[in-house]
């Protein structure tokens, strides 16, 4: 009986993670091509609002999701244009857009605040959802969550198993070499940035039409998800599987925080609410610290065994970004 509640809770975790999965997978694809889309946070808010507002006005969930994706792709197009064609700083453009899209979301979303709207229905898969434990966990979800599973695997296979994926890796690592081999680097960067943006734009409605239906303006729990997705992209080593793992871990920790809150009355609720962010910093720390000079020097000063051991740990934790990330490519 108790295990049933846990299963339901965990199933909820999988569903709650879906928006983060979409955003992280999208950003992974974008960054693999060498572009950083820093506007993710604002993009998600804007697409969440747009998706919800569209769904309310047209009474169609599908149009809501499409609207969200269109918004995400549109914002990404601005990022792509500014950084690839106009060669402006990706960080600057992304940052301005993240702020502006947030304000746009609040401004345009004012009329639909607190309004109740359509919500994606649960869709248990026949047969599969009857399998003990795995069934209710994975296959008693809604369409959005199923899509998130698909996204992970398609992205993984695409990047690592297909020819186009190898070219994508090449473009991210050394655009000059990819160009020499016939890849239209800048066109590919546009494509993957917009594609990634569309996925980010899917994350918004995935939240406002499924996880926590409705648009509640500044009080929604959605502000900050975009930054987590950006950090998870790094933590995931630009690998969809590892990034998804991080996303599920993150959702799990949030859920644990809610669940354990009543049994820990002495810890203020803010601690558990804000816990993801120090955790994000901690993971980034672990991932990067092996690269710093002082660590290298300290390691060199240690006795052989300690040094070998620590180096191996740090090496396992380390992730390296695609070498051309953030650097514009002059295709002449």
Please list every residue from 67 through 86 that binds another protein, using CB under 8 A. 78, 81-82, 85-86
296 binds another protein (CB under 8 A): yes
Q: Are 25 and 199 in contact (CB under 8 A)?
A: yes
List the one residue from 137, 280, 325, 329 that touches another protein (CB under 8 A): 280
Enumerate residues 184-223 that contact another protein by CB under 8 A. Answer: none
Distance from C-alpha of 331 to C-alpha of 298, rounded to nearest angstrom:
42
List the one residue from 245, 284, 310, 317 that touches another protein (CB under 8 A): 284
Q: How far is the CB of 205 from another protein (least distance, A)?
A: 19
Q: How far is the CB of 277 from another protein (least distance, A)?
A: 4
* CA distance to 22, 102, 331, per residue, from 75 (Å): 16, 12, 24
Q: How far is the CB of 153 from another protein (least distance, A)?
A: 15
Q: Whole-angstrom distance between the N-terminal and C-terminal Cα of the chain?
A: 66
Q: Are 76 and 47 in contact (CB under 8 A)?
A: no
Closer of 32 and 145 to another protein (Cβ): 32
274 binds another protein (CB under 8 A): yes
321 binds another protein (CB under 8 A): no
268 binds another protein (CB under 8 A): yes
Distance of CA 127 to the CA centre of its chain: 31
Quick one: tokens of 209?
A: 């039409």
Interface characters, 87-106, with another protein (x: CB under 8 A): xxx-xxx-xxx-xx-xxx-x
Among the listed residues 91, 243, 231, the one whose alpha carbon sits nearest the alpha carbon of residue 153: 243
Q: How far is the CB of 188 from another protein (least distance, A)?
A: 12
Q: Are 144 and 210 in contact (CB under 8 A)?
A: yes
Residue 122's DSSP bridge partners are: 142
Enumerate residues 13-42 that contact another protein by CB under 8 A. Answer: 38
108 binds another protein (CB under 8 A): yes
Among the listed residues 191, 177, 186, 180, the one whose alpha carbon sits nearest the alpha carbon of residue 328: 186
Residues 6+ apart with CB under 8 A from 44: 19, 23, 72, 200, 201, 203, 204, 207, 222, 225, 226, 229
Q: How far is the CB of 102 from another protein (least distance, A)?
A: 7
Closer of 49 and 198 to another protein (Cβ): 49
Distance from C-alpha of 74 to C-alpha of 46, rounded to nearest angstrom:
11
Residue range at the interface with another protein (CB under 8 A); choices 65-73, 143-151, 250-258, 264-272 = 264-272
Residues 6+ apart with CB under 8 A from 304: none
311 binds another protein (CB under 8 A): yes
Count interface residues toward another protein (CB under 8 A): 74
Enumerate residues 126-185 that contact another protein by CB under 8 A. Answer: 161-164, 166-167, 169-170, 173-174, 176-183
């Amino acid at each position: 009986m108790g295990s049933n509640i846990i299963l339901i809770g965990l199933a909820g975790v999988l569903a709650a993670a879906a928006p983060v999965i979409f955003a992280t997978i999208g950003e992974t694809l974008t960054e693999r091509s060498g572009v950083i889309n820093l506007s993710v946070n604002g993009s998600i808010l804007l697409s969440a609002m747009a998706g919800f507002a569209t769904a309310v006005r047209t009474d169609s969930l599908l149009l809501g999701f499409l609207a969200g994706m269109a918004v995400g792709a549109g914002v990404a197009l601005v990022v792509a244009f500014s950084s690839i064609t106009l060669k402006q700083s990706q960080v600057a453009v992304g940052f301005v857009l993240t702020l502006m899209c947030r304000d746009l979301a609040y401004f345009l979303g004012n009329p639909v605040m607190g309004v109740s709207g359509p919500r994606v229905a649960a869709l248990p898969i026949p047969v599969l959802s009857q399998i003990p434990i795995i069934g209710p966990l994975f296959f008693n979800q809604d369409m959005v969550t199923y899509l998130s599973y698909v996204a992970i695997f398609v992205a993984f296979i695409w990047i690592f198993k297909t020819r186009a994926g190898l070219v994508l890796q090449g473009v991210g690592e050394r655009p000059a070499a990819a160009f020499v081999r016939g890849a239209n680097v800048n066109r590919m960067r546009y494509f993957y940035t917009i594609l990634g943006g569309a996925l980010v734009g899917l994350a918004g409605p995935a939240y406002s039409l499924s996880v926590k239906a409705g648009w509640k303006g500044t009080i929604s729990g959605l502000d900050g998800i975009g930054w987590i997705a950006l950090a998870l992209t790094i933590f995931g080593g630009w690998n969809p599987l590892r990034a998804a793992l991080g996303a599920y871990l993150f959702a799990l920790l949030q859920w644990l925080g809610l669940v354990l809150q009543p049994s820990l009355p002495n810890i203020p609720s803010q601690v558990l609410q804000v816990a993801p962010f120090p955790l994000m910093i901690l993971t980034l720390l672990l991932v990067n610290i092996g690269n710093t000079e002082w660590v290298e020097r300290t390691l060199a000063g240690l006795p052989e065994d300690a040094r070998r051991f620590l180096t191996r740990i740090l090496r396992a934790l380390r992730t390296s970004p695609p070498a051309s990330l953030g650097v514009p490519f002059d295709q002449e």
